[in-house]
Amino acid sequence: MQELQASTAPAGQGPAALPEAASLEAAGYVALPAPAARARFDAAGTALAGPAWESFAASWAALEPDRFMADGGRYRLRRHAAFRLAPGTAPQRLPHRPHYQTTEHNPLNGGIERWFAPVTPEAEASPALAALLEGARAVFDALRPGTDWLVEMHQFRIQARTGEAGKPTPEGMHRDGVDFVMVTLVGRHNVAGGVTGIRIDGQPGEQSFTLEQPLDSVLLDDHRVWHGVTPIAPLDPDQPGYRDVLVLTFSVRLPPSPGAAGRHTGPE
């Protein structure tokens, strides 16, 4: 099992001026171990550390059961929210809506509108969330300048219990059906497994790594990368175990208007 290693590429010019964006464009994904995520997303050290982070992470203790598990599993808890990130404006929470994936993208649980418990106002207002939303936006904007983004926020807790495998991705290797994804580990407690595998551009073989430390993150181009996570089990079967993750998916809500500064010039 590999720990998360930083993947970097030389900074490019123009839209890929951020090294993280250049890596994402070159490789289809970029790994940001916790120190790199903190440095990039929270230079002041006030949002992704200390009380702000602790209280955001604590909100994972108040997730609600996912009632749409076609495998009958009761090991997944979650909350969901949608935001609009329009150019030059702060994230705007959208009215609560269902989460929808096609059966092509999610053969197990797709094809229906799934309503999940909403993200709480306290979690929505967290400086940690603001830092992560803005940090991810900066990277994705470097590749799609001027985009009006639809962001879906998913808080997941997968429980590891004796006798029932906790499956972070019960649908197996998949794409989310969006444009870009950031996955950030919030915490692991008494958990074995949970290895992330990714397959890029349909090439054979997988790369694998484990999000081990809080804030270990990976950013994916969802058009190029299939991803999945192995089941988890409790290290100590007599104690509860869980893996907490934040997933932010970015979809192009509106492409840049013609003539807007910083039109998309990246690859299609």
The site for Fe ion (CB under 5 A) is made up of: 176
Task: Give the shortest CB-168-to-Fe ion separation in angstroms.
Answer: 9
Classify 59 as helix, strand or coil: helix
φ/ψ region of 118 (left if φ > 0, alpha if ψ in -120 to 50, else beta) reads beta
Inter-residue contact 62 to 241 (CB < 8 Å): no
If the CB atoms of residues 66 and 176 are measured against Fe ion, the closer one turns out to be: 176
What is the number of the residue whose Cβ is closest to Fe ion? 176
CA distances from 98 to 21, 79, 111, 161, 216 (A): 30, 11, 12, 28, 28
Task: Give the shortest CB-176-to-Fe ion separation in angstroms.
Answer: 4
Residues 19, 25: Cα–Cα separation, whole Å = 10
Task: Give the shortest CB-35-to-Fe ion separation in angstroms.
Answer: 25
Burial class (CB within 10 angstroms; exposed 0-12, middle 13-18, buried 19+) of 112: middle
Task: Give the shortest CB-24-to-Fe ion separation in angstroms.
Answer: 16
Inter-residue contact 159 to 240 (CB < 8 Å): yes
Classify 52 as helix, strand or coil: helix
Task: Give the shortest CB-106-to-Fe ion separation in angstroms.
Answer: 9
Q: Which amino acid is at 112?
A: I
If the CB atoms of residues 14 and 172 are measured against Fe ion, the closer one turns out to be: 172
In sequence order, what are the beta bridge partners of 76? 158
If the CB atoms of residues 42 and 176 are measured against Fe ion, the closer one turns out to be: 176
Residues 267, 165: Cα–Cα separation, whole Å = 40
If the CB atoms of residues 20 and 176 are measured against Fe ion, the closer one turns out to be: 176
If the CB atoms of residues 59 and 196 are measured against Fe ion, the closer one turns out to be: 196
If the CB atoms of residues 53 and 140 are measured against Fe ion, the closer one turns out to be: 140
Task: Give the shortest CB-221-to-Fe ion separation in angstroms.
Answer: 13
Rg value, the chain, Cα? 18
Residues 136, 132: Cα–Cα separation, whole Å = 6
Task: Give the shortest CB-178-to-Fe ion separation in angstroms.
Answer: 9
If the CB atoms of residues 141 and 176 are measured against Fe ion, the closer one turns out to be: 176
Burial class (CB within 10 angstroms; exposed 0-12, middle 13-18, buried 19+) of 259: exposed
